A and B are shown apart, each in its own frame.
Chain A
């Protein structure tokens, strides 16, 4: 083997090594769905006046200031317009609720206050008022880093959600990780695959022109796999929500985000 060949092979093996390094590094890095979005979606998200999510926050304020059946108001306990919500605490959802003895999503927590502290009838899981409240509250934590605690009593739920994430479903027979971990950044026809994070939820979809919560997005991914979906308030989706949020620990909350 000539010197030249040796040099060449040494060069390429080093190049290969660098390539492997960069691949492993890029896998560990968390990237918000924002970075994978179209210019149009980014523009809408960046401009509070254009972002339709802010209309929903307005509506959320109306619901927030509505008197409950027992004459209580959200603001009696959480301040005018929700000013007393603690961003760091909102960014920790879903979390284990010691009194209810189960993990609760932000939606569950709002529902819990709605029913037990305002004496209202419970809201449907995809009720527009619940969506508006959730958007209002999560927006209070805008810019805060997602920080879900996965130790302690919530651990088995997290593990179940993780197992779910790696289970193949539907006639397409795929799991979440294939699209959102392995082929991130690749095009699925006209759509760029993101890492499937939750930091933008509830968010506005340009495609359907409406706000959606996380389970609604999950149902859509299920439909595209031609899989039998789960109910929005099923244990499976709740566990998955825990895993998905924890998986994005460290990403900044963008509610209300705009996505295609």
Chain B
């Protein structure tokens, strides 16, 4: 059983950089469309123009204003004292999931679990109620940042020093 779905949102803003100037947040719009294909529970890399940087990915999962994955997941990042326990540990995640499966989970977990607490990092802002004006029309991460995180998670294979980074 497999299903095939094309998610295409035209004229859309996929990532935004919010610049804080007192009272006037300026939103710089990057690329014009969200465009990815979901097959089974995966997203194959539809954007061949993007290559992930695992070192940046490792920073993004820690950054409270970006991925902030540590809020809910444990990761092999000993320099952060507190790791959340809401989601499953992501130690050795790449033994459990393929790169394409990871990509869908980071892009928009609600595509596989509609009641998930995990935010859709590249979910269409149109599906969201009462987004703060500071983040209007913005996804949490850009397509490039999603790739960076995916490329980092793919390196998590073995304990205890599973990450070569």
Assembled-state Cα–Cα distance A168/B154 (Å): 31
**A228 and B130 contacting across the interface, CB-CB below 8 Å:** yes
Interface residues of B toward A: which range?
Answer: 20 to 34
Secondary structure type dominating chain A contacts: loop
Q: Shortest Cβ distance from B143 into chain A, in angstroms? A: 16
Contacts of A163-190 to chain B: CB distance below 8 A: 167-174, 178-179, 182-183, 186-190
A66 within 8 A of B: no
**Residues of the A chain whose Cβ atoms lie less than 8 Å from the Cβ of B83:** 187, 189
User: Residues 115-135 of chain B: 1 if any A CB is under 8 Å from the residue's CB, otherwise 0?
Assistant: 001011001010111111111
Establish whether residues B128 and A171, one from each chain, have CB atoms under 8 Å apart when the complex forms: yes
Interface string of B33-72 (1 = CB under 8 A from A): 0000000000000000000000000000000000010111
Contact of A168 among B70, B129, B135 (CB under 8 A): B129
Determine whether the beta carbon of A183 is less than 8 Å from that of B117.
Answer: yes
Task: Let me know if B82 is at the binding interface, CB within 8 A.
Answer: yes
Inter-subunit contact A178/B85 (CB<8 Å)? no
Tell me the smallest distance from the CB of A239 to a CB of chain B, in Å.
15
Which residues of chain A are near B110, meaning CB under 8 Å? 173
Closest residue of chain A to B128 (Cβ to Cβ) is A173
Contacts of B128 in A (CB 8 A): 168, 170-171, 173
Q: Which residue of B lies closest to A182 (CB)?
A: B117
Contact in complex: A171, B86 (CB < 8 Å):
no
Chain B residue contacts of A183, Cβ below 8 A: 86, 117
A-B contact pairs, 29 of them (CB 8 A): A170-B131, A170-B132, A171-B128, A171-B131, A171-B132, A171-B135, A172-B119, A173-B110, A173-B119, A173-B127, A174-B119, A178-B117, A179-B117, A186-B84, A187-B84, A187-B85, A188-B72, A188-B86, A189-B68, A189-B71, A189-B82, A189-B83, A190-B81, A223-B132, A226-B131, A226-B132, A226-B135, A227-B131, A228-B133
The 10 closest A-B pairs by CB, nearest first: A190-B82, A178-B117, A187-B85, A189-B82, A228-B130, A189-B71, A186-B85, A186-B86, A172-B119, A171-B135
